[in-house]
Amino acid sequence: MPFVAVAVAALAVGFEALVQWKWGAMGIVAFVALTIGVKSKNVAIGGIGAVILVMLLAQ
């Protein structure tokens, strides 16, 4: 079980670094807002994060 937790944490850190490299600080803000919105079941925050990510991807 600890190995799985370490692997998931490493994957999350790697994904965060990829987002930071590709889309900068605004990508991290959007990813965090989307994650918080999904985990707390808050549609407004999740929607804001999703819209920001879509706008960054559409550039």
Residue 47: pLDDT over 90: yes
Q: Determine the average pLDDT of the residues in 37-55.
A: 91
CA distance 49 to 19: 13
Q: How do residues 6-24 score in pLDDT, each as one tens digit?
A: 888 888 888 878 877 888 8
Q: pTM, whole model, 2 decimals? A: 0.69
CA distance 1 to 41: 27
